[in-house]
Protein backbone atom coordinates (compact mmCIF):
# COMPACT_ATOMS: atom_id res chain seq x y z
CA UNK A 1 0.00 0.00 0.00
CA UNK A 2 1.27 3.49 -0.88
CA UNK A 3 0.46 6.86 0.70
CA UNK A 4 0.23 9.80 -1.70
CA UNK A 5 1.12 13.18 -0.19
CA UNK A 6 0.14 15.65 -2.94
CA UNK A 7 -2.20 16.17 -5.86
CA UNK A 8 0.78 15.51 -8.14
CA UNK A 9 0.83 11.92 -6.97
CA UNK A 10 4.08 12.07 -4.96
CA UNK A 11 4.57 9.08 -2.69
CA UNK A 12 4.96 9.87 1.01
CA UNK A 13 8.08 7.87 1.74
CA UNK A 14 7.88 7.71 5.53
CA UNK A 15 4.18 6.85 5.67
CA UNK A 16 4.69 4.12 3.10
CA UNK A 17 7.60 2.74 5.13
CA UNK A 18 5.37 2.66 8.20
CA UNK A 19 2.67 0.68 6.42
CA UNK A 20 5.27 -1.79 5.20
CA UNK A 21 6.54 -2.08 8.77
CA UNK A 22 3.01 -2.91 9.94
CA UNK A 23 2.81 -5.65 7.32
CA UNK A 24 6.19 -7.01 8.40
CA UNK A 25 5.10 -7.31 12.04
CA UNK A 26 1.96 -9.20 11.06
CA UNK A 27 -0.81 -6.61 11.11
CA UNK A 28 -3.82 -7.63 9.08
CA UNK A 29 -4.37 -6.14 5.60
CA UNK A 30 -7.62 -4.54 6.81
CA UNK A 31 -5.82 -2.83 9.72
CA UNK A 32 -3.06 -1.57 7.44
CA UNK A 33 -5.60 -0.27 4.94
CA UNK A 34 -7.61 1.49 7.67
CA UNK A 35 -4.48 3.10 9.12
CA UNK A 36 -3.34 4.28 5.70
CA UNK A 37 -6.73 5.75 4.82
CA UNK A 38 -6.83 7.64 8.14
CA UNK A 39 -3.25 8.89 7.98
CA UNK A 40 -3.32 10.16 4.38
CA UNK A 41 -5.90 12.94 4.98
CA UNK A 42 -3.90 14.16 7.99
CA UNK A 43 -0.72 14.43 5.93
CA UNK A 44 -2.60 16.23 3.13
CA UNK A 45 -4.09 18.64 5.65
CA UNK A 46 -0.66 19.31 7.13
CA UNK A 47 0.76 20.22 3.71
CA UNK A 48 -2.24 22.33 2.70
CA UNK A 49 -2.26 24.27 5.98
CA UNK A 50 1.49 24.95 5.90
CA UNK A 51 2.48 22.57 8.71
CA UNK A 52 5.63 20.47 8.75
CA UNK A 53 4.49 17.06 9.94
CA UNK A 54 8.05 16.31 11.13
CA UNK A 55 7.72 19.10 13.70
CA UNK A 56 4.34 18.03 15.02
CA UNK A 57 2.94 19.76 18.09
CA UNK A 58 0.06 18.77 20.30
CA UNK A 59 -1.86 21.81 19.07
CA UNK A 60 -1.61 20.53 15.48
CA UNK A 61 -3.17 17.20 16.40
CA UNK A 62 -5.88 18.83 18.52
CA UNK A 63 -6.86 20.94 15.51
CA UNK A 64 -6.83 17.86 13.30
CA UNK A 65 -9.17 16.16 15.75
CA UNK A 66 -11.62 19.04 15.32
CA UNK A 67 -11.55 18.44 11.56
CA UNK A 68 -12.33 14.77 12.03
CA UNK A 69 -15.11 15.54 14.51
CA UNK A 70 -16.64 18.29 12.36
CA UNK A 71 -16.57 16.37 9.06
CA UNK A 72 -19.77 14.31 8.75
CA UNK A 73 -19.67 10.73 7.58
CA UNK A 74 -22.17 8.71 5.55
CA UNK A 75 -24.99 7.26 7.58
CA UNK A 76 -28.11 5.36 6.64
CA UNK A 77 -29.21 5.88 3.04
CA UNK A 78 -26.08 7.92 2.41
CA UNK A 79 -27.24 10.81 4.61
CA UNK A 80 -24.52 12.68 6.53
CA UNK A 81 -24.32 12.20 10.28
CA UNK A 82 -21.84 13.09 13.04
CA UNK A 83 -18.87 10.81 13.46
CA UNK A 84 -19.02 8.54 16.51
CA UNK A 85 -16.49 9.13 19.32
CA UNK A 86 -15.11 5.61 18.79
CA UNK A 87 -14.43 6.44 15.14
CA UNK A 88 -12.75 9.72 16.03
CA UNK A 89 -10.54 7.76 18.41
CA UNK A 90 -9.65 5.33 15.62
CA UNK A 91 -8.64 8.19 13.33
CA UNK A 92 -6.46 9.78 16.01
CA UNK A 93 -4.94 6.43 16.95
CA UNK A 94 -3.73 5.94 13.38
CA UNK A 95 -1.92 9.29 13.41
CA UNK A 96 -0.41 8.78 16.87
CA UNK A 97 0.76 5.26 15.97
CA UNK A 98 2.47 6.68 12.90
CA UNK A 99 4.34 9.21 15.02
CA UNK A 100 5.32 6.55 17.56
CA UNK A 101 6.91 4.58 14.71
CA UNK A 102 8.49 7.75 13.26
CA UNK A 103 10.07 8.52 16.62
CA UNK A 104 11.44 4.98 16.99
CA UNK A 105 12.76 5.10 13.41
CA UNK A 106 14.50 8.45 14.06
CA UNK A 107 12.37 10.15 11.41
CA UNK A 108 11.27 12.79 13.93
CA UNK A 109 12.89 14.16 17.06
CA UNK A 110 12.55 11.82 20.09
CA UNK A 111 10.39 14.16 22.14
CA UNK A 112 6.82 12.90 21.61
CA UNK A 113 6.45 10.71 24.68
CA UNK A 114 4.33 12.65 27.14
CA UNK A 115 3.43 15.14 24.41
CA UNK A 116 1.03 13.16 22.23
CA UNK A 117 1.12 9.78 23.98
CA UNK A 118 1.81 8.62 27.51
CA UNK A 119 2.20 5.36 29.43
CA UNK A 120 -0.87 3.85 31.05
CA UNK A 121 -1.20 0.72 33.16
CA UNK A 122 -3.75 -1.77 31.84
CA UNK A 123 -5.03 -4.00 34.62
CA UNK A 124 -4.98 -7.79 34.28
CA UNK A 125 -7.85 -9.07 32.18
CA UNK A 126 -8.89 -9.23 28.56
CA UNK A 127 -6.62 -6.34 27.50
CA UNK A 128 -3.95 -6.53 30.21
CA UNK A 129 -3.20 -10.25 30.14
CA UNK A 130 -2.58 -12.28 33.26
CA UNK A 131 -0.41 -9.73 35.07
CA UNK A 132 -1.38 -6.44 33.52
CA UNK A 133 0.87 -4.34 31.31
CA UNK A 134 1.94 -0.83 30.38
CA UNK A 135 0.66 0.60 27.10
CA UNK A 136 1.47 3.86 25.35
CA UNK A 137 -1.86 5.61 24.72
CA UNK A 138 -3.00 8.95 23.33
CA UNK A 139 -2.93 11.87 25.74
CA UNK A 140 -6.42 12.99 26.91
CA UNK A 141 -6.48 16.00 24.57
CA UNK A 142 -6.44 13.64 21.57
CA UNK A 143 -9.11 11.29 22.83
CA UNK A 144 -12.71 11.69 21.72
CA UNK A 145 -15.30 12.52 24.30
CA UNK A 146 -17.71 9.74 25.12
CA UNK A 147 -20.56 12.25 25.38
CA UNK A 148 -21.91 14.58 22.73
CA UNK A 149 -19.43 17.20 21.57
CA UNK A 150 -19.90 20.69 22.96
CA UNK A 151 -21.65 23.04 20.58
CA UNK A 152 -19.55 25.78 19.03
CA UNK A 153 -19.60 28.92 21.20
CA UNK A 154 -21.83 31.77 20.08
CA UNK A 155 -19.78 34.61 18.64
CA UNK A 156 -20.32 37.80 16.63
CA UNK A 157 -19.74 36.29 13.22
CA UNK A 158 -20.61 39.07 10.80
CA UNK A 159 -18.10 41.92 10.25
CA UNK A 160 -20.84 44.53 10.08
CA UNK A 161 -22.21 43.46 13.47
CA UNK A 162 -18.75 43.76 15.01
CA UNK A 163 -18.29 47.19 13.42
CA UNK A 164 -21.64 48.40 14.79
CA UNK A 165 -20.66 47.29 18.29
CA UNK A 166 -17.26 48.97 18.13
CA UNK A 167 -18.69 52.22 16.72
CA UNK A 168 -21.63 52.41 19.12
CA UNK A 169 -21.79 55.69 21.04
CA UNK A 170 -21.21 54.86 24.71
CA UNK A 171 -20.07 56.82 27.74
CA UNK A 172 -16.32 56.58 28.35
CA UNK A 173 -16.39 53.86 31.02
CA UNK A 174 -18.70 51.61 29.03
CA UNK A 175 -16.71 52.13 25.84
CA UNK A 176 -13.54 51.09 27.67
CA UNK A 177 -15.23 47.99 29.12
CA UNK A 178 -16.54 46.87 25.72
CA UNK A 179 -13.18 47.51 24.06
CA UNK A 180 -11.31 45.67 26.82
CA UNK A 181 -13.53 42.59 26.60
CA UNK A 182 -13.55 42.58 22.80
CA UNK A 183 -9.81 42.97 22.23
CA UNK A 184 -8.44 40.89 25.13
CA UNK A 185 -10.94 38.06 25.55
CA UNK A 186 -11.17 38.62 29.31
CA UNK A 187 -13.98 37.06 31.29
CA UNK A 188 -16.31 39.69 32.71
CA UNK A 189 -15.41 38.61 36.25
CA UNK A 190 -11.74 39.18 35.47
CA UNK A 191 -12.46 42.66 34.12
CA UNK A 192 -14.52 43.65 37.17
CA UNK A 193 -11.78 42.32 39.46
CA UNK A 194 -9.08 44.50 37.85
CA UNK A 195 -7.34 47.06 40.07
CA UNK A 196 -5.73 50.18 38.67
CA UNK A 197 -2.32 48.77 39.60
CA UNK A 198 -2.99 45.89 37.16
CA UNK A 199 -3.13 48.28 34.21
CA UNK A 200 0.29 48.77 32.61
CA UNK A 201 -0.28 50.85 29.49
CA UNK A 202 3.19 52.30 28.95
CA UNK A 203 5.74 51.37 26.32
CA UNK A 204 8.22 50.74 29.14
CA UNK A 205 6.72 49.58 32.46
CA UNK A 206 9.84 49.12 34.58
CA UNK A 207 8.83 52.16 36.64
CA UNK A 208 5.80 50.14 37.72
CA UNK A 209 7.99 47.25 38.78
CA UNK A 210 7.09 45.27 35.67
CA UNK A 211 9.56 43.84 33.15
CA UNK A 212 6.96 43.34 30.43
CA UNK A 213 7.26 45.89 27.66
CA UNK A 214 4.31 47.44 25.89
CA UNK A 215 0.69 48.01 26.98
CA UNK A 216 -0.82 45.06 28.85
CA UNK A 217 -2.98 44.14 31.81
CA UNK A 218 -2.35 41.70 34.63
CA UNK A 219 -5.13 39.29 35.57
CA UNK A 220 -4.77 38.17 39.19
CA UNK A 221 -6.67 37.64 42.40
CA UNK A 222 -7.42 40.89 44.22
CA UNK A 223 -9.28 41.68 47.43
CA UNK A 224 -12.28 42.93 45.50
CA UNK A 225 -15.19 45.01 46.75
CA UNK A 226 -17.82 43.72 44.30
CA UNK A 227 -17.67 39.91 44.55
CA UNK A 228 -15.93 39.53 41.18
CA UNK A 229 -12.96 37.23 40.81
CA UNK A 230 -10.37 35.97 38.40
CA UNK A 231 -11.36 32.39 37.58
CA UNK A 232 -7.87 31.04 36.89
CA UNK A 233 -4.31 31.75 37.91
CA UNK A 234 -2.40 34.97 37.16
CA UNK A 235 -1.51 35.92 33.60
CA UNK A 236 -0.88 39.02 31.53
CA UNK A 237 -2.61 39.97 28.28
CA UNK A 238 -1.35 42.54 25.73
CA UNK A 239 -3.74 45.27 24.57
CA UNK A 240 -3.90 47.30 21.35
CA UNK A 241 -3.68 51.09 21.17
CA UNK A 242 -7.44 51.45 20.92
CA UNK A 243 -7.88 50.02 24.42
CA UNK A 244 -5.20 52.37 25.75
CA UNK A 245 -6.95 55.40 24.24
CA UNK A 246 -10.37 54.41 25.53
CA UNK A 247 -8.87 53.92 29.00
CA UNK A 248 -7.40 57.43 28.89
CA UNK A 249 -10.84 58.84 27.99
CA UNK A 250 -12.37 56.90 30.87
CA UNK A 251 -9.80 58.17 33.37
CA UNK A 252 -10.50 61.78 32.35
CA UNK A 253 -14.24 61.18 32.75
CA UNK A 254 -13.70 59.49 36.11
CA UNK A 255 -11.60 62.37 37.42
CA UNK A 256 -14.13 64.97 36.23
CA UNK A 257 -16.92 63.18 38.07
CA UNK A 258 -15.21 61.82 41.20
CA UNK A 259 -12.07 63.89 41.53
CA UNK A 260 -9.08 62.05 42.99
CA UNK A 261 -10.90 58.96 44.29
CA UNK A 262 -9.18 56.15 46.18
CA UNK A 263 -11.18 53.16 44.94
CA UNK A 264 -8.62 50.62 43.62
CA UNK A 265 -11.06 49.08 41.15
CA UNK A 266 -10.67 49.95 37.48
CA UNK A 267 -14.43 49.88 36.91
CA UNK A 268 -16.55 51.99 39.24
CA UNK A 269 -20.05 53.44 39.14
CA UNK A 270 -20.03 56.93 37.65
CA UNK A 271 -23.29 57.81 36.01
CA UNK A 272 -26.08 56.69 38.33
CA UNK A 273 -26.46 55.93 42.03
CA UNK A 274 -23.62 54.73 44.29
CA UNK A 275 -21.05 56.82 42.47
CA UNK A 276 -17.48 55.80 43.23
CA UNK A 277 -18.31 52.26 44.31
CA UNK A 278 -17.04 49.21 42.45
CA UNK A 279 -19.09 48.27 39.41
CA UNK A 280 -21.00 45.02 39.89
CA UNK A 281 -22.12 42.31 37.51
CA UNK A 282 -25.68 43.65 37.75
CA UNK A 283 -24.43 46.90 36.25
CA UNK A 284 -22.81 44.98 33.39
CA UNK A 285 -26.05 43.10 32.71
CA UNK A 286 -27.89 46.41 32.51
CA UNK A 287 -25.25 47.82 30.13
CA UNK A 288 -25.39 44.86 27.77
CA UNK A 289 -29.17 44.90 27.74
CA UNK A 290 -28.98 48.48 26.51
CA UNK A 291 -26.31 47.55 23.97
CA UNK A 292 -28.48 44.70 22.70
CA UNK A 293 -31.36 47.10 22.09
CA UNK A 294 -29.05 49.53 20.28
CA UNK A 295 -27.62 46.91 17.92
CA UNK A 296 -30.91 44.99 17.54
CA UNK A 297 -29.24 41.74 18.56
CA UNK A 298 -28.71 39.99 21.87
CA UNK A 299 -25.12 40.58 23.00
CA UNK A 300 -23.74 39.03 26.19
CA UNK A 301 -20.35 39.83 27.76
CA UNK A 302 -19.02 36.31 27.21
CA UNK A 303 -19.81 36.55 23.50
CA UNK A 304 -16.98 39.07 23.22
CA UNK A 305 -14.59 36.48 24.67
CA UNK A 306 -15.89 33.87 22.22
CA UNK A 307 -15.52 36.35 19.39
CA UNK A 308 -11.94 37.30 20.23
CA UNK A 309 -10.88 33.66 20.59
CA UNK A 310 -12.44 32.80 17.24
CA UNK A 311 -10.84 35.81 15.55
CA UNK A 312 -7.42 34.86 16.93
CA UNK A 313 -7.71 31.28 15.73
CA UNK A 314 -9.10 32.17 12.30
CA UNK A 315 -6.86 35.19 11.73
CA UNK A 316 -9.78 37.61 11.33
CA UNK A 317 -8.50 41.22 11.38
CA UNK A 318 -5.42 39.96 13.23
CA UNK A 319 -2.53 37.56 12.64
CA UNK A 320 -3.67 33.95 13.09
CA UNK A 321 -2.56 32.46 16.41
CA UNK A 322 -2.04 28.80 17.20
CA UNK A 323 -4.18 26.95 19.71
CA UNK A 324 -1.60 26.96 22.51
CA UNK A 325 -1.05 30.73 22.28
CA UNK A 326 -4.81 31.32 22.47
CA UNK A 327 -4.98 28.96 25.45
CA UNK A 328 -2.45 31.12 27.32
CA UNK A 329 -4.17 34.38 26.39
CA UNK A 330 -7.56 33.09 27.54
CA UNK A 331 -6.20 31.63 30.77
CA UNK A 332 -7.28 28.06 30.02
CA UNK A 333 -5.62 25.28 32.00
CA UNK A 334 -5.81 22.79 29.13
CA UNK A 335 -5.95 22.70 25.35
CA UNK A 336 -9.23 20.81 25.57
CA UNK A 337 -10.94 23.91 26.95
CA UNK A 338 -9.55 26.05 24.12
CA UNK A 339 -10.35 23.50 21.41
CA UNK A 340 -14.05 24.39 21.55
CA UNK A 341 -13.10 27.55 19.66
CA UNK A 342 -11.24 25.52 17.04
CA UNK A 343 -14.60 24.00 16.11
CA UNK A 344 -15.57 27.36 14.72
CA UNK A 345 -12.73 26.92 12.22
CA UNK A 346 -14.11 23.62 10.96
CA UNK A 347 -14.94 24.91 7.48
CA UNK A 348 -11.56 26.59 7.11
CA UNK A 349 -9.74 23.52 8.34
CA UNK A 350 -11.62 21.14 6.08
CA UNK A 351 -10.98 23.48 3.16
CA UNK A 352 -7.27 23.17 3.85
CA UNK A 353 -7.46 19.55 2.71
CA UNK A 354 -7.37 19.64 -1.07
CA UNK A 355 -9.96 16.88 -1.33
CA UNK A 356 -12.23 16.44 1.66
CA UNK A 357 -13.63 13.23 0.15
CA UNK A 358 -10.30 11.39 0.36
CA UNK A 359 -10.94 7.67 0.93
CA UNK A 360 -12.10 7.19 4.47
CA UNK A 361 -12.87 10.82 5.24
CA UNK A 362 -16.56 10.49 4.55
CA UNK A 363 -17.41 7.06 5.90
CA UNK A 364 -16.76 4.76 8.81
CA UNK A 365 -16.18 1.54 6.95
CA UNK A 366 -13.18 -0.49 7.89
CA UNK A 367 -13.32 0.49 11.55
- Which residues partner with 117 through β-bridges? 113, 138
Question: How many other CB atoms sit within 10 Å of the CB of residue 24?
Answer: 8
What pLDDT was estimated at residue 109?
84
Give the right CATH number for 159-341 from 3.40.50.300, 3.10.20.30, 1.10.443.10, 1.10.3720.10: 1.10.443.10
Distance CA 294, CA 274 (A): 25
Residue 178 CA to residue 211 CA, distance in Å, equals 27
**Architecture of the structural domain at 13-149:** Orthogonal Bundle (1.10)
| Dihedral class, residue 78 (left if φ above 0, else alpha if ψ from -120 to 50, else beta) | left
Query: Global pTM?
Result: 0.66
CB count in 10 Å sphere of residue 338 = 25
Cα–Cα distance list, 149 to 253, 313, 361 (Å): 46, 19, 19
pLDDT at 147: 46
Q: Are 40 and 358 a contacting pair, CB within 8 Å?
A: yes
Show me where the domains of the chain are located. Answer: 13-149, 159-341
Distances (CA, A) of 52 to 39, 55, 67: 15, 6, 18
**For the chain, how long is the longest CA-to-CA vector?**
80
CA distance 125 to 134: 13
Q: What is the pLDDT along the chain (367 residues), one digit of tens a residue?
A: 555 555 556 678 899 999 999 999 888 887 888 899 999 999 988 888 888 999 988 888 988 988 888 888 776 566 777 888 888 888 999 999 999 899 889 988 877 877 787 766 555 544 445 555 556 767 788 887 754 445 578 899 999 999 999 999 999 999 999 999 999 999 999 999 999 999 999 999 999 999 999 999 999 999 999 988 777 789 999 999 999 999 999 999 999 999 999 999 999 999 987 899 999 999 999 999 999 999 999 999 999 999 999 999 989 999 999 888 999 999 998 787 888 787 555 555 555 554 434 444 444 443 3
Amino acid sequence: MLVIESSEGDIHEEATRWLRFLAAVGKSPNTIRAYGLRLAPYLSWSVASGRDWRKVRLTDLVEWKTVVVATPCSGAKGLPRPRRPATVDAWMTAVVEFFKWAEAAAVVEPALSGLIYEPRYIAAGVYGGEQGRIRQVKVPELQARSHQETASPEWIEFPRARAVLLNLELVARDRFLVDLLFFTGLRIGEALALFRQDVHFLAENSGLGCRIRGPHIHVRSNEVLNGARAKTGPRWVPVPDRVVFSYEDYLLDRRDILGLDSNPHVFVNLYRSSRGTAMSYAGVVDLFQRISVSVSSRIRPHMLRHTRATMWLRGIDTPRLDLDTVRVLLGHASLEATSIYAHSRAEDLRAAVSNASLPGIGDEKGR
